[in-house]
């Protein structure tokens, strides 16, 4: 990794050189909306500050820990109670949402699912899917089933869609029918281990079924702005999967969100996961950077690098100091250590924050994948980048 820009060692601070006071105020508002830094909160209170990407990894646990949820078991218990629910929602992404937001999240999921299916142009008729969906529901009458069990029970009712289907994310008609039933609120996916990062899932009937509503774009915009304002229509359009015009109309209908509780800058340091809402809700990292760090190369999505100031999003976990992205980190599962790199010399406070996060990942999670299919080669590439940094360390 090329080194950070040379210069005298410095401690990351909220206001960069020549930074206007309104920029610092805006960052403070973004931190307040996201519930950062941590204060003791319930899972539901954290999810009111933004739905959290799941993706089969441990990321939700780290995002919630950064906002004040003390343990993995607290998250798992909230899900077991139904206070938090994993659903297919905007842009056909799987997210953890509060129970009260399930109808709205599923409404967005139905729109995204239908658009994805239409774009795939698969040779599957509505009648074929309806027949398969009915068979799945019948198979679940006796309790939860995994996909292997369903394939055995349903047999010839499932049709292989060949390589063309696999390239579009649907190797057979089974995942199509399962997603259709899920966004319709008929079935939900549950972990076989009770953990979000399980690689084994089962499906069960959703009882009682959530209310089915039409997508209210203004309500979606209202949620987004409560988590991310000030934000652009472009940001909302990307996150919600809307056209630019629809996003502008939705934002106008949503109105201005209430101001959050804002804390004065106090040198707070948080270790955030990949795709955390603080860094990922906007399609431009530049407002979250010290200007001196804009040229620092970070990993892109193709195993190359991109200057931090030109990156739309991070493909790494982020170290945030007083709202500024000040470094990146990862977890070495073999060594059971957190590995970090900062853009300036680390302070003792940063090392302490790294140690707390390392303890949480090591003791509560045991590993930290970006997503379910995060493989050893990708992880080795990220760790090599960190170990090549000028300012680096482990915890």
Tens-place pLDDT, residues 56-101: 889 999 999 999 999 999 999 999 999 999 999 999 999 999 999 9
pLDDT at 192: 87
- Main-chain phi, psi angles of 114, to 5 degrees: -65, -40
276 and 231 in one domain? no
Non-local CB neighbours of 328 within 8 Å, separated by 6+ positions = 298, 299, 314, 316, 317, 318, 319, 340, 341, 386
pLDDT at 245: 97
pLDDT at 9: 38
Q: What is the DSSP string of 63-127?
A: HHHHTT---HHHHHHHHHHTSEEEEE-GGG-EEEEEGGGHHHHHHHHHHHHHHHHHHHT-S--HH
- Looking at the domain assignment, is residue 293 inside a domain? yes
pLDDT at 20: 57
- Looking at the domain assignment, is residue 45 inside a domain? no
pLDDT at 103: 98
Q: What is the pLDDT of residues 173-231, one digit of tens each?
A: 999 999 999 999 999 999 989 999 988 889 999 999 999 999 999 999 999 999 999 99
200 and 56 in one domain? yes
pLDDT at 198: 86
271 and 158 in one domain? no
Task: List the chain residues with pLDDT less than 50.
Answer: 1-18
pLDDT at 279: 96
- Looking at the domain assignment, is residue 315 inside a domain? yes
Task: Give CA 269 to chain center in angstroms.
Answer: 20
339 and 194 in one domain? no
- Looking at the domain assignment, is residue 198 inside a domain? yes
- Looking at the domain assignment, is residue 156 inside a domain? yes
- Looking at the domain assignment, is residue 128 inside a domain? yes
169 and 57 in one domain? yes
270 and 248 in one domain? no
379 and 294 in one domain? yes
The C-alpha atoms of residue 382 and residue 366 are separated, in whole angstroms, by: 18
- Looking at the domain assignment, is residue 180 inside a domain? yes
Looking at the 3D structure of the chain, how many domains does it have?
Answer: 3
231 and 182 in one domain? no
324 and 200 in one domain? no
State if pTM tops 0.75: yes
184 and 58 in one domain? yes
- Looking at the domain assignment, is residue 46 inside a domain? no
275 and 174 in one domain? no
How many beta carbons lie within 10 A of that of residue 71, not counting itself? 14
103 and 83 in one domain? yes
List the domain range (segments joined by +) for residue 142: 51-205
pLDDT at 1: 44
């Amino acid at each position: 990794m090329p080194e950070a820009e040379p210069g005298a060692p410095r401690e990351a601070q909220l206001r960069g050189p020549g930074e206007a006071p309104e920029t610092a105020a805006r960052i403070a508002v973004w931190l307040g909306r996201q519930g950062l830094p941590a204060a003791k909160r319930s899972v539901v209170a954290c999810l009111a500050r933004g739905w959290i990407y799941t993706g089969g990894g441990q990321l939700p646990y780290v995002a919630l820990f950064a906002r004040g949820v003390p343990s993995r078991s607290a998250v798992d218990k909230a899900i077991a109670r139904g206070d938090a629910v994993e659903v297919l929602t905007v842009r056909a992404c799987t997210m953890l949402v509060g129970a009260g937001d399930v109808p709205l999240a599923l409404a967005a999921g139905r729109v995204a699912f239908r658009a994805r299916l239409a774009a795939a142009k698969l040779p599957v008729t509505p009648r074929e899917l309806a027949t398969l969906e009915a068979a799945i529901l019948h198979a679940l009458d006796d309790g939860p089933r995994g996909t292997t069990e369903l394939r055995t029970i349903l047999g010839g009712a499932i049709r292989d869609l060949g390589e063309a289907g696999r390239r579009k994310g649907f190797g057979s008609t089974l995942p199509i029918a399962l997603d259709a039933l899920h966004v319709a609120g008929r079935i939900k996916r549950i972990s076989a281990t009770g953990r979000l990062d399980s690689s084994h899932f089962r499906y069960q009937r959703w009882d009682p079924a959530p209310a089915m509503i039409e997508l209210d774009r203004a309500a979606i915009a209202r949620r987004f702005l409560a988590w991310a304002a000030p934000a652009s229509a472009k940001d909302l359009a990307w996150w919600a999967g809307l056209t630019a015009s629809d996003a502008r109309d939705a934002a106008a209908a949503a109105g201005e969100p209430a101001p959050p509780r804002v804390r004065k800058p106090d040198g707070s340091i948080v270790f955030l996961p990949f795709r955390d809402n603080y860094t990922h809700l906007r399609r431009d990292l530049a407002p979250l950077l010290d200007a001196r760090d804009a040229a620092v190369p970070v990993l892109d999505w193709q195993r190359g690098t991109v200057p931090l100031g030109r990156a739309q999003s991070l493909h790494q976990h982020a170290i945030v100091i007083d709202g500024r992205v000040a470094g990146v980190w990862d977890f070495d599962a073999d060594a059971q250590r957190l590995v970090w790199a900062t853009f300036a010399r680390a302070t003792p406070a940063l090392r302490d924050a790294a140690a707390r996060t390392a303890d949480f990942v090591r003791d509560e999670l045991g590993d930290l994948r970006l997503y379910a299919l995060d493989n050893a080669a990708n992880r080795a590439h990220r760790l090599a980048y960190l170990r090549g940094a000028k300012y680096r360390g482990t915890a």
